[in-house]
Amino acid sequence: MQRDQDDGRGLWLKAGAVWIALGVVLAATVAGAYLAPGPLRLPLALGLGAVKAALVVVVFMELFDSRASTRIAPLVGALFVALLFALSFADEATRQEMPRSFAAPPERAVQDR
């Protein structure tokens, strides 16, 4: 019974320690959105987001404690998301010109008149 109580305290302490780390990184994320130089804000915010996600995935979701066959599932998911982004931005990032806005009147309408 005494052992059970000790186990209980230990696991709350572990969860609490990760929670404090998550809170600190969140505070840094919000501060960075106001204080970091403009072009760095998005990569910084996403980088700190990745740190928070890594803490949750590694400690709370115990991904690396599971079997290799289990770890393959999220890896395949991440791979497909990477493919989705890579193929789409291979087009988007290399286009010379895009319509300025959906709201702008198409040029064809002007020619028709």
**Rule CB under 8 A: is residue 49 a binding residue for other proteins?**
yes
> Helices 38-55 and 2-35: crossing angle, nearest 10°?
170
Handedness of CA 77, 78, 82, 85 (dihedral sign): positive
**Rule CB under 8 A: is residue 106 a binding residue for other proteins?**
no
Q: How far is the CB of 101 from other proteins (least distance, A)?
A: 4
What is the Cα–Cα distance from 96 to 108, expressed in whole angstroms?
A: 20
**Rule CB under 8 A: is residue 76 a binding residue for other proteins?**
yes
The count of C-alpha atoms lying within 13 angstroms of the C-alpha of 44, restricted to the half-sphere facing its C-beta, is 17
Interface residues with other proteins (CB under 8 A) are 4, 7-8, 11-12, 14-16, 18-19, 22-23, 26, 29-30, 33-34, 41-42, 45-46, 48-49, 52-53, 56-57, 59-62, 66-67, 69-71, 73-74, 76-78, 80-81, 84-85, 88-89, 92-93, 98, 100-104
